[in-house]
């Protein structure tokens, strides 16, 4: 368990998830303005900014909270940690998830305001279709498998680059453009822009993200049955004193 106070880790998770949504929504708005007649170019711009932004956020906040920024990552960390007493406790999980969701909503509002949009404009982009749900299942399962295979095999140091690269690639190889994150999905409903998702589509996406996480956890257990512990996902976070200086 990290010596960093739980409230500080929750703040880091809220900020990290919020800035991630700001990157996703903000770059989507910018892409739509810069390339109004080319959806493919818009997606390229959006995915490139998201991949780089996510890697930077993991590097910046990982030492504080582990840089989950995603309820299914936190839930998987808690679940897998039950086997050997590592990972998040139930209390920590119950603190991380609300912080991530609130942060995601705030991040969407910030992106809207930066581009002169209404603070809240509910998305009208319908994403309710079986092929999109399959895409979310694949995207989330792959994300969980990637993160825990890196951690359990002692390669967590490359997680910022690897996770950023995976999400950037998954924008293109999944039909859903790889939300793979319930908090981010909820946040994106607050912006009627290129990266938005209609509120009516959120529940379906979240359900299949949870299902994908279960699939991913199962694959981790099958492929890495004897390696490591679940703690310190996405990256190892250092013990800190109350002054916030790493010991």
| pTM for the whole structure | 0.91
Q: Examine residue 200 and state whether it is found in any structural domain, yes or no.
A: yes
Segments forming the whole domain that contains residue 66: 6-223
* 240, part of any domain: no
In a domain? residue 199: yes
Is residue 158 pLDDT above 70, yes or no? yes
Q: Per the domain annotation, does 165 fall within a domain?
A: yes
Give me the pLDDT at residue 233, please. 58
Cβ neighbors of 62 (< 8 A, separation 6 or more) are 159, 160, 234, 235, 236, 237
Mean pLDDT value across residues 119-134: 97
**Between 225 and 131, the higher pLDDT residue:** 131
Domain count, the chain: 1
pLDDT at 247 over 50: no
1-5, 111-115, 151-155, 184-188: least confidently modelled range: 1-5
237 lies in some domain: no
Average pLDDT of the chain, as a whole number: 91
User: Is the model's pLDDT at 242 over the cut of 70?
Assistant: no
Where residue 82 sits, what CATH number does that domain have? 1.20.1080.10
pLDDT score for 205 = 98
In a domain, 50, yes or no: yes
Identify the band that residue 47 occupies on the pLDDT scale cut at 50, 70 and 90.
very high
Q: Are 53 and 104 in contact (CB under 8 A)?
A: no
At residue 153 the predicted structure's pLDDT band, cuts being 50, 70 and 90, is confident
Instruction: Flag whether 121 is in a domain.
Output: yes
Span 138-144, average pLDDT: 98
User: Is 246 a member of any domain?
Assistant: no
């Amino acid at each position: 368990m990290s010596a960093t106070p739980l409230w500080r880790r929750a703040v880091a998770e809220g900020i990290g998830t919020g800035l991630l949504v700001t990157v996703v929504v903000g770059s989507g708005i910018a892409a739509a303005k810069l390339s109004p007649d080319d959806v493919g170019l818009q997606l390229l711009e959006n995915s490139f900014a998201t991949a780089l932004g996510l890697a930077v956020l993991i590097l910046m906040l990982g030492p504080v909270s582990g840089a989950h920024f995603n309820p299914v990552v936190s839930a998987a960390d808690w679940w897998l940690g039950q086997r050997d007493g590592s990972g998040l406790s139930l209390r920590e999980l119950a603190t991380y998830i609300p912080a991530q969701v609130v942060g995601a909503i705030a991040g969407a509002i910030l992106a809207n305001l930066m581009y002169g949009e209404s603070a809240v404009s509910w998305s009208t982009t319908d994403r309710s279709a079986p092929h999109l749900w399959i895409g979310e299942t694949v995207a989330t399962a792959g994300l969980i498998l990637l993160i825990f295979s890196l951690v359990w095999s002692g390669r967590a140091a490359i997680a910022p680059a690897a996770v950023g690269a995976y999400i950037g690639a998954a924008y293109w190889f999944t039909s859903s453009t790889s939300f793979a994150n319930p908090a981010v999905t909820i946040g994106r409903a607050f912006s009627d822009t290129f990266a938005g998702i209609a509120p009516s589509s959120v529940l379906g996406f979240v359900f299949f993200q949870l299902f994908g996480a279960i699939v991913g956890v199962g694959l981790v257990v099958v492929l890495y049955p004897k390696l490591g512990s679940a703690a310190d996902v996405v990256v190892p976070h250092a013990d800190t004193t109350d002054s916030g200086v790493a010991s």
